[in-house]
Chain A
Amino acid sequence: MALYKYFIKRLALTIPTLLGVSIIVFLLIHMIPGDPIDVMIGDRVSQEARIALEEKLGFHQPLHIQYLQWFSSAIQGDLGISIRSNQPVFQEIMSRLPATIELTLVALFIAVVFGIFFGVTAARYRNTMIDQSMIGFSLLGVSIPIFWLGLMLIMFFSVILGWLPVSGRLSMGSGVETVTNLYLLDGLITGNFALFTDALKHLLMPAFSLATVSLALVVRVTRSSMLDVLSEDYIRTARAKGLLDRKVVYVHALKNAMIPVVTVIGLQLAKLMGGAILTETVFSWPGIGRLLVNSIGFRDYPVVQGVVLFVAFAFIFMNIIVDLFYAYLDPRIRYE
């Protein structure tokens, strides 16, 4: 099966899931115990205001009509209006999306690059102090609560040493020329070195704490996969040919050890997206996770609904991309 046919098949299989997800997200607002209008605006407002909000949210119509209206608007990018800010929910999400993308991408980068490097190093120096400390690190890393780690990093690097800023994406008053709203990238594109370093300083602790669990898992899987591969005959042959050890490890062995590692990296997407909710809360990072938590606090349910739908859809599509990548790496998958 050609890759594009596999992609179409995979996409078609997703449609019922997308519908199901949308129904669940839609029903959430109706599962709030008590009257959702009361919960959202309190019971002290006038009867007129209540009726106005009810009409605005379409609550006076039957449930299935409400769903159809909501869903058809949602797929056109209209997720309703935030009760608190009166802004379109889609716009609220879009304005915060770059912050979350930047955070998760940098965290993923840290997890993958350092994870593979540490994992390979541990396998290369099996049963030495280096290996033991890598194992120890990955053991601690998978169990550490990242929100607590974030707080401890703040205490050490911000409060005690004063090296890194406590929260936010940029220092107060730093003018930003935004191109992509990914500040690291913007700094590079516009050649604004000050912006780049400022953004990087703000990003280091959140990205590191978000990356920890994934990093530890990548180390673990890379190590064990490399150990399997390093005992293969073709590695011995490569060594016998007199190739440099570094070349044998990074070229011959690593390439063959990658499939389980890619699987684990694919699974990290969900972890990072969940983790972003926590990390953004710890570091007051102005992303989607913080928008969600704040909106829950303010009972701004249109925003909650919008964010959950958006993230769930994004997650499903990212999984399709990961699957495509496997299918590309291992053609057997396409025929299953």
Chain B
Amino acid sequence: MNSELKQVIFVYKKNKLAVVAFFIAVLLMILAFIGPLLSPHDPLAINHGARFEEGIWDGNTEHILGTDNLGRDIFSRILHGTRISLSVGYAVIAITLVAGLFIGLISGYFGGVVDIVVMRFIDILLSFPPLLLALVIAATLGTGLDRAMLAIAIVYIPSLARIVRGSVLTVKEMPYVEASRAMGGGNFWIILGHVLPNVMTPVIVYLTLLLGDAILYTAALGFLGVGIDPSSPEWGAMLSGGRDYLILGKWWITLFPGIMIFLAVLSFNLFGDGLREAVDSKLRL
């Protein structure tokens, strides 16, 4: 395992862009932890005396990225937003991982009627355009970050379950599974001890590629005002709030949160791409 990991890192490091993306991604993760501590103002504090203030380009050192229509400090909101976006992203990954693994393992390992029913259901979920599915589920569940996480995860669970099922079908025919069964190993033991570890590589790659997507979907839901509280410092919700003031020339309200979404999605996508390439090269060897 150790030498395999070294091989993956070796290939990954050759991709300069992926390395830069990795550092930006790490920086964002750190920011998600300590950002709220660095934030100079309360992200929710409304200050009618400081509406539409321009930022540091106008000599404003109090609000370096300016303020929005309610006088809230954009820099502080962006810092808090980092935590929201990344935690939704991770939660989506965690939910997708647990549910996707569970469904895929059961469906692939036991086969039969369970498999047919589950796979049909998955086909049905996959026949919705993803954003539409997330949107209506979020609308049905109501407002709240936990519900938004669930709504976004439901979009990915079917794909992951299908990937896991596919790998399980191959792995369960392997001699070591047969050997374990011959030694009297129960299904539970075989699934956890032998099948699960051997289906994890495609799962990890899928999940890394998913993080950028999940952040984008969170922002999209926030922008559409569905499932995410419009006053919260979520990046998409900030864009939506600043939209009406763009025509009045108050560009800073929408520019900075957008850059953050872009940067986060881009760096996690490049990180995921780089990792996939590195893992693929390992598989080829």
Nearest B residue to A158 by beta-carbon distance? B247
Nearest CB to that of B239 among chain A residues? Answer: A148
A145 touches B219 (CB 8 A): yes
B226 / chain A contacts, CB cutoff of 8 Å: 293, 296
The stretch of A24-32, A189-197, A203-211 in contact with B is A24-32
Q: Could you give, for residues 130-145 of chain B, a 1 whenever the CB lies within 8 Å of some chain A CB and a 0 otherwise?
A: 1110011101111000
- Tell me whether A152 is interfacial, beta carbon within 8 Å: yes
Structural contact, A140 and B266, CB atoms closer than 8 A:
yes
Asked whether A17 lies within 8 Å of B132 as measured between CB atoms, the reply is: no
Q: How many residues of A contact B (CB 8 A)?
A: 45
Q: Kindly state the separation between the CA atoms of A70 and B202 in the bound complex, as whole angstroms.
A: 41
Query: Which of chain B's residues 5-42 have a Cβ closer than 8 Å to chain A?
Result: 17
Asked, given contacts A270-B129, A277-B135, whether A142 binds B225 with beta carbons under 8 Å apart, the answer is no
Known: A143-B265, A296-B139. A278 touches B255 (CB 8 A): no
Interface size on B, residues (CB 8 A): 43
In the assembly, what is the distance between CA of A160 and CA of B128, in Å?
39
Verify B261–A278 contact, CB threshold 8 A: no
Interface 9-mer from A121-129, A171-179, A307-315, A327-335: A307-315
- Ordered nearest first, which 8 A-B pairs have the shortest CB separation? A274-B131, A148-B258, A20-B124, A143-B266, A296-B139, A270-B129, A143-B265, A273-B129
**CB atoms of B124 and A33 under 8 A apart:** no
By a beta-carbon cutoff of 8 Å, the part of chain B in contact with chain A is 17, 120-121, 123-125, 127-132, 135-137, 139-142, 212, 216, 219-220, 223-226, 236, 239, 243, 246-247, 249, 251, 254-255, 258, 261-262, 265-266, 269-270
B81 to chain A, nearest CB (A): 13
Instruction: Name the one of B132, B247, B265 contacting A277, with C-beta atoms under 8 angstroms.
Output: B132
Given the known A-B contacts A33-B142, A277-B224, A292-B135, are A312 and B266 also in contact in the complex, defined by CB atoms under 8 Å? Answer: no
Contact status of A274 and B223, CB under 8 A, knowing A20-B121, A151-B246: no
Bound form: Cα–Cα A269–B17 in Å: 30
Interface of B is mostly: helix
User: A148 touching B262 by the CB < 8 A rule?
Assistant: yes
A interface vs B, CB < 8 Å?
Answer: 16-17, 20-21, 24, 28-29, 31-33, 139-140, 142-145, 147-148, 151-152, 154-155, 158-159, 166, 270-271, 273-275, 277-278, 281-282, 292-293, 296-297, 304, 308, 311-312, 315-316, 319
Provide the residues of chain A in CB contact with B132, threshold 8 Å: 273-274, 277, 292, 308, 311-312
20 contacts between A and B (CB under 8 A): A17-B127, A24-B124, A33-B141, A33-B142, A139-B270, A142-B269, A143-B212, A143-B262, A145-B265, A148-B239, A152-B255, A152-B258, A155-B255, A275-B131, A278-B224, A292-B132, A296-B226, A308-B128, A312-B129, A316-B127
B141/A151 in contact, CB under 8 A: no
Asked if A145 meets B129 with Cβ closer than 8 Å, knowing A32-B140, A151-B254, the reply is no
User: Cβ of A293: which chain B residues have Cβ within 8 Å of it?
Assistant: 135, 224-226
Residues on the A chain within 8 Å of B219, using CB: 145, 147
**Contact among B130, B139, B239, B262 with A304 in the assembled complex (CB-CB below 8 Å):** B139
B128 to chain A, nearest CB (A): 5
Q: How far apart sit A151 and B142, CA to CA, in the bound complex (Å)?
A: 27
A16, A296, A311: most-surrounded residue (chain B CB, <10 A): A296
B247 touches which of A31, A32, A166 (Cβ 8 Å): A166
Q: Within 8 Å CB of A311, what residues of B?
A: 129, 132
Q: Which residue of B lies closest to A29 (CB)?
A: B140
User: B225 — which chain A residues lie within 8 A by C-beta?
Assistant: 293, 297
Q: Are B269 and A274 in contact (CB under 8 A)?
A: no
Task: Give min CB distance, B238 to chain A, whole Å.
Answer: 10
Contacts known (A145-B216, A159-B246, A278-B224); A312 close to B128, Cβ less than 8 A: yes
Bound: A166/B140 CA distance, A: 31
Write out the residue numbers on chain A whose beta carbons fall within 8 Å of the beta carbon of B246.
151, 154-155, 159
Measured between C-beta atoms, what is the minimum distance from B148 to chain A in Å? 14
Q: Once the chains are docked, how many angstroms separate the CA of A5 from the CA of B262?
A: 46
- Which residues from chain B contact A143 at a C-beta distance below 8 Å? 212, 216, 262, 265-266, 269
User: When the two chains form their complex, are residues A270 and B130 in contact, meaning their CB atoms are under 8 A apart?
Assistant: yes
Task: Please report the C-alpha to C-alpha distance between residue A31 and residue B212 in the assembled complex, in whole angstroms.
Answer: 29
Interchain nearest-CB distance for A14 vs B (Å): 9
